[in-house]
Structure 1
Amino acid sequence: MDGSPPPRGGAVDSIGRWARVQGGALPWERYMEIALYDPEGGRYQQRDSPFGRSGDFYTAAHLGPAFGRTIARWVLSIDAQLGHPDPFRLVELGPGDGSLARDLADEIARRSDAPERFEYVFIERSETLRRRALEGAWAGPASRLRRSVQGGIGDRGVFVGAVVANELWDALPARSLIRTGGVWRERTVVWNGERGAWGLGEVVSAIGYAPLPDDEEGTVREVSLVGESLIRAVADHLGAGALLILDYGGTTEELGVRHPTGSISTLRRHRAGGDPLDAPGTSDLSVDVDFGRLRAAARAAGLVEMAYRSQTEALAAWGLGEVAEELRRAAPNDAERVRTHLAVKSLGFGFERFRALELAAPGRPLRARPTPT
């Protein structure tokens, strides 16, 4: 952090109220929920955006249109395999500031014979981000797509289409567990009125859809039951189509090696490493996605795995090279061509920790595009 005192009000007061109700400590999962989403001061509820140059972090969608246009080709391949249904509902979970939506919808409008079939649906719990996404996404060809906002995946019943989530799962509240005395125990945040300290909660013997590993003493792991519940909700309401999850993380085994003391991280104005228990509501908080547990939850929910691979491999399979060449040819000058080249290069080499998980609704087999050799 920058050394300034923690802000009063907002998330700090909300955490204090929760801590008092729970005897002075609250689970990390609840702390993370308040710090990010509290209506009185969570980071994603604030007027200043957490995205882009003036915010806390960039996503791949902020590097230029190549990322969104490539994902649009994945969406169109799902549309083709489903026989071009009308309507085709394209749901984005956690659209942020609308950067991905703008490029994705623009490419669909350019490449589809009937873009009016598509309805782009935002699902965003933060009213501030929902408003920002709607304001930023719809100009030019993208305006030919219908658009709407939902509070949850099941608000309008079962649908046919595709669901896309880019860097959402890492921001879903997760429980933090520590291996101590040969058992797993919940980590809590002991709140003193201004900041927190780590504490120990109850023993956890089983959680979610996958067993807890028999790790060494002192190992810390994060488990997002919120993320597993969201997988179940998508499975319950996606009648035909596919779900695409793009995020940083790895298998359960990989995360145990990479993050033996846990993967909780902070970002504030693009600087990492601040204490997550200091000044809640002023920094972005995230955890690496345990794709091993996520895939187990998907299987339990009846979803069919189409592919699990690195994001770099997935983008190549969906046509990033072709998209990049189109953008270079359309660039008005050499400077723009250089910017396009650097952005595409960053997508290939700046996101090594990112994975792509493609899941199909049960009952209608869909094919993933093979990774180029």
Structure 2
Amino acid sequence: MLTRHLLKQASTCRHFLLNSKTSSPLLTKSLLFSSSSSSSPESQSPTTTFVDDKVTDQYPSSTSISIDRSDLYNPPDHSHEPTSESELVKHLKGIIKFRGGPISVAEYMEEVLTNPKFGFYISRDVFGTEGDFITSPEVSQMFGEMVGVWAMCLWEQMGRPKQVNLVELGPGRGTLMADLLRGASKFKSFTESLRVHLVECSPTLQKLQHHNLKCLDEDDNGDGVEKRTISTLAGTLVSWHALLEQVPSGLPSIIIAHEFYDALPVHQFQRASRGWCEKMVDVSEDSMFRFVLSPQPTPATLYLMKRCKWAAPEEIEKLSHIEVCPKAMDLTHAIADRISCDGGGALIIDYGLNGVVSDSLQAIRKHKFINILDNPGSADLSAYVDFASIRHTAEEVSANISVHGPITQSQFLGALGINFRVESLLQNCTDEQADSLRTGYWRLVGEGEAPFWEGPDEQVPIGMGTRYLAMAIVNTKQGVPVPFQ
């Protein structure tokens, strides 16, 4: 009964799958992974023709830095407890003091997350139940397996190239890639073509990825040839890079960006009496971080103007806040350019909107929301992904690029066969594994609280099937990717 009830929640996905005209032999085979595997333990939206020239003209011409709090909306209350300042706090205050004025929210966010010495992601494992948040790959092995099905289908549409770069941006613990390779390991022609490239800036997470992919490093023969690292999960070569630009070009690429865009730094703008002003981070007289508004245009204003041109005037008129993410635009441009030249495609899965994003920046510490200015470096910072901006950016790169979606994560996973996969796994597992599978399945495809939950209220599984969206960017030569037809 419980299985039937769970599967009913994704009946739309099942219907789509069974009636899809785009299934391939590889897709069908991929849905038949061995059933002996168990689950892994382990305010929205802006373009007024924006800032017409009037907004710029209203700013003072002086280049000196001044502070304006007159139009600041709801300055946040702090919840600092008396503690000694961390090295990151001292570093941030040092930057502000050296500049002689505030820094952008984007710069604050970037320092908090990826500062080489003190950044939140750099020196710790922040994922899973013991970390600060849980991602879909940590919820269930089925997520990585379904992404693997998508990658194999795209590889088939590409004509089964003999060599292909499989790139993951921000791979976390490596759980998604490990489940992908493990699930695809029986399809030798696919795995033998793969050159896995993990784009990761954290040495701590690189070590975890190396371990979870069960990598072996070849012995150094002293012949000057660079040592190779091989994942024993599928016999594939694995390399690490700090930036996407460091991944070798020339081969078709399959790029996966799962919960990567949401951590890219955003600039926040607020509508004030004199027009759109950028929100900045400053230090108050009592040595606390606070928000202020820029009294004049900032470099990020150019990105705001570009974003507003992509939106309808009525979409902008109702907003008092707008977020723009220049790094997301630049990254999308780089991805689309690579795909246009070399072939392949990219899959982006994240929480966000298919439109202009308003005030969405949030901080999460130990699975709870906190003030983003409190004890920087102790919590994850993330913002909603602007999928419409990704689409416009990619489509401007080349006529060889097509963008598909977004569709909900529930639709995406359902169309790729997660319903059949959970049924298969439930036939050959322990009671404890079955409970884990049902909970993980609900979190991936469900919406809201799980109706079957009988445990403590504070632990009820929350479905993210409709909160997360999936989008694909592909070379037009490959046609429309599964399951976006």
TM-score between both structures, scaled by the size of structure 2: 0.70
Separation of aligned partners in 1, 2:152 and 2:83: 47
Give the corresponding residue for 2:270.
178
Give matches, 1:144-155, under 5 Å: 144-155=235-246
Cα 1:322–1:32 change in 2 (3 A) is: same
Q: Provide Cα deviations, 1:105-126, integer angstroms capped at 9, x if missing partner.
A: 1112133445222121100122
Q: Provide Cα deviations, 1:286-340, integer angstroms capped at 9, x if missing partner.
A: 1111111121111112331133211111111222122223322342x23212321
Amino acid paired to 2:131: G
CA offset at residue 130 of structure 1?
2.2
Aligned-pair identity (%): 25
Matched, 1:269 2:366: yes
Q: Provide Cα deviations, 1:272-297, integer angstroms capped at 9, x if missing partner.
A: 1x111111100000111111112111
Give the corresponding residue for 1:307.
405
**Please, which of 289, 307, 315 is the counterpart of residue 196 of structure 1?**
289
Amino acid paired to 2:355: T
Query: 5+ unaligned residues in a row in structure 2: which ranges?
Result: 1-77, 216-230, 447-462
CA offset at residue 54 of structure 1?
1.2
| Structure 1, 174-183 or 189-198: larger mean CA deviation | 189-198
Q: Provide Cα deviations, 1:241-267, integer angstroms capped at 9, x if missing partner.
A: 1101100011225x45xxxxx101111
Give the corresponding residue for 2:65.
none
Give the corresponding residue for 1:52.
128
Give the corresponding residue for 2:103.
26
Give the corresponding residue for 1:108.
184
Separation of aligned partners in 2, 1:290 and 1:250: 5
Amino acid paired to 1:236: D
Asked whether the 8 Å contact 1:69–1:323 carries over to 2, the reply is no
Asked whether the 8 Å contact 2:213–2:232 carries over to 1, the reply is no
CA offset at residue 79 of structure 1?
0.7
Greater relative contact order (Cα < 8 A, sep 6+):
2
CA offset at residue 194 of structure 1?
4.9
Give matches, 1:331-350, under 5 Å: 331=429, 333-349=430-446, 350=463
Separation of aligned partners in 2, 1:101 and 1:237: 21
CA offset at residue 216 of structure 1?
5.0
Give matches, 1:293-332, under 5 Å: 293-302=389-398, 303-331=401-429
Give the corresponding residue for 2:334.
233
Asked whether the 8 Å contact 1:180–1:217 carries over to 2, the reply is no
Greater than 4 Å deviation, 4+ residue runs: none
Amino acid paired to 2:136: A
Structure with larger Rg: 2
Amino acid paired to 1:252: G
Asked whether the 8 Å contact 1:250–1:288 carries over to 2, the reply is yes
CA offset at residue 232 of structure 1?
1.1
Give the corresponding residue for 2:346.
243
Cα 1:360–1:6 change in 2 (3 A) is: farther
| Structure 1, 176-185 or 7-16: larger mean CA deviation | 7-16
| Structure 1, 53-62 or 131-140: larger mean CA deviation | 131-140
Asked whether the 8 Å contact 1:46–1:128 carries over to 2, the reply is yes
Matched, 1:360 2:474: yes
CA offset at residue 370 of structure 1?
4.1
Give the corresponding residue for 2:9.
none
CA offset at residue 236 of structure 1?
2.4
Separation of aligned partners in 1, 2:149 and 2:139: 18
SS at match of 1:159: coil
Matched, 1:132 2:246: no
Structure with more strand by fraction: 1
Separation of aligned partners in 2, 1:114 and 1:90: 11
